[in-house]
A and B are shown apart, each in its own frame.
Chain A
Amino acid sequence: MAVWVVLVARWASSPGRAVREASSPPALGSVAAAAVLGARFSDQGAAWPGNWFGASAGGGAGAAACVGAAFLALAALGLAVLLWPVVSNWTTPTAGTSFLVSVALQGVAALSATLAASYRASWLLYAAIILFLAGLAAYAVIVWRFDFRSVSTGAGDQWVVGGALAIGTLAAAKIAATTAALDTAVVSVVSVVAMPLVAPVKSAAYGSACSTTWR
């Protein structure tokens, strides 16, 4: 969590740079940061430290989810505003920072899935699933044109290749947890929707693992 405070501080401390680079993938880092901060606020009852406002203690849950919802609105707005400029200024071969497109999508997906449980709002869960799949697709496209030599020469951003997978995993886990929590019609609908999608995604995911470890 300290990681995110630092990251946000970094982005907040250089707004000029953020404006100038609004059309490059690092701009989407701000979306990811907002999403993950929001997820931390609204992550009530999680088994790890970070329950700000004593969210899991009971009455505070609503306030924490409210803060999370504000972050979700901020992140979704950022995604809507920044995604097109970034994609239209796309350059190849892709670098580590290119993966921030996938990171931003997965970050918003994870927050959306978390809040879907807090508010028992199934539409947020569907949004999360769509964003999650979009994030996976973006990852596949980006990794396809990635210059893997930067894994050994990169100045630090090559780690986002793995970080994008990690936040995608987080989104998947949140979606799974929320789907289990909303045990109404949502579960069956989600299962039906997800069933044909999971199998190819799984095999694609294993495929990209092979290409990642192979280098």
Chain B
Amino acid sequence: MLDDLALALWCVAMASLIPLAISEAIRPRLHYDLLRWATVFPVGMYAACSFAVGQVTGLGGITDFARIWTPIALGVTLLALVGLTRRILLGRSHFVNGQKRGRGRQGRKIMTALGSNAHLFARPHRRQELTWCFETALGCPVATVEFPGMAESMLVIRFPDGGSLSIEFTEEAPDDDQPRLGAWLELRAEDPAAAMRAAMDAGFKEVKHPGHPYYFMAPGGQVFTIAPLH
């Protein structure tokens, strides 16, 4: 009877393996994270418990599964080890470069590019407006992303020709009715004039600034400029 219980639990555990594995396939998270070690343990435990249940129930199929699963668990462990090793080595080499720079060695390229991903902060009440602004008025796909440790979900806008914008919502975010003199961001469009017209039609405030005519303010005060794609 107790081995029935073990077998029932084994079935439940195997059932839990399916959604976990499928969600890893659907949404691969290949960057190294310390929490990956919390993946290594369960993956190994599926093999360990299968050996034990196979032995106690005498069902060879379960032991066979354990034998097949063991190299998979080992592979996952090795992947995590590779990630950890890379993290340690990369972290150390950055440190060494920083030290050399600190001692006044000039001309070393430490930063080599400005990334195309921007992270903005906005007040929670701007969520609807901002979603509408990008999704409906400007035709950019907006995703809502839960992030561990963030009370509110983020909006993430990925642009088809590169770059992404993430917007985090917090009451501490700046919020202005006037164009904010913070960092302005550059959007790109095949036809900046047409994109600017779309922004104006949607009711965004035009921002006058020397340079070129295409500046507008999003709800909350963030200023965007529209530059030609090429």
A206 touches which of B8, B27, B33, B43 (Cβ 8 Å): B8
Q: Tell me the bound Cα distance from A153 to B146 in angstroms.
A: 7
A57 contacts partner chain B, Cβ-Cβ < 8 Å: no
| Contact between B1 and A198, CB atoms less than 8 A apart | yes
The smallest C-beta distance from A147 to any residue of chain B, in angstroms, reads: 8
- Contact among A153, A160, A190, A212 with B42 in the assembled complex (CB-CB below 8 Å): A160
A10 touching B23, Cβ below 8 Å? no
Number of A-B contacts (CB under 8 A): 181
Which B147-168 residues have a C-beta within 8 angstroms of A?
147-148
The residues of B that contact A153 with a CB separation of less than 8 Å are: 27, 145-148
Contact B40 A6 (CB under 8 A): yes
Report yes or no: A162 in contact with B6, Cβ–Cβ below 8 A: no
Q: Inside 8 A of A29's CB, which chain B residues have their CB?
A: 38, 41
Cβ < 8 Å to B, chain A residues 1-38 = 2-4, 6-7, 10, 29, 32, 36
A168 to B35, CA, bound (A): 21
Q: Roughly how many angstroms separate A17 CA and B81 CA in the complex, as a whole number?
A: 20
Interchain CB contact under 8 A, A176 and B6: yes
Given contacts A7-B41, A149-B146, A161-B20, contact A156 B13 (CB under 8 A): no
- The verdict on A96 contacting B51 (CB below 8 Å), with A161-B16, A168-B9 known, is no
Chain B count of residues within 8 A CB distance of the other chain: 53
Q: Given A2-B74, A6-B77, A159-B38, is A169 in contact with B6 using a C-beta cutoff of 8 Å?
A: yes
Q: Which residues of B contact A160 (CB under 8 A)?
A: 38, 41-42
Q: Determine whether the beta carbon of B45 is less than 8 Å from that of A154.
A: no
The answer to the question of A92 belonging to the interface, with a C-beta cut-off of 8 Å to chain B, is no
Q: Does B73 contact A (CB under 8 A)?
A: yes
Q: When chains A and B are docked, how far (Å) is the Cα of A150 from the Cα of B146?
A: 8
Q: Residues of A contacting B46 with CB < 8 Å? A: 162-163, 166
Contact B35 A170 (CB under 8 A): no
Contacts of B118 in A (CB 8 A): none
Cβ of A213 and Cβ of B19 under 8 Å apart?
A: yes
Chain B residues lying within 8 Å of A70, measured Cβ to Cβ, are: none
Nearest B residue (CB) for A173: B52
* Contact of A173 with B53 in the complex, beta carbons under 8 Å: yes
Closest chain B residue to A10, Cβ basis: B37
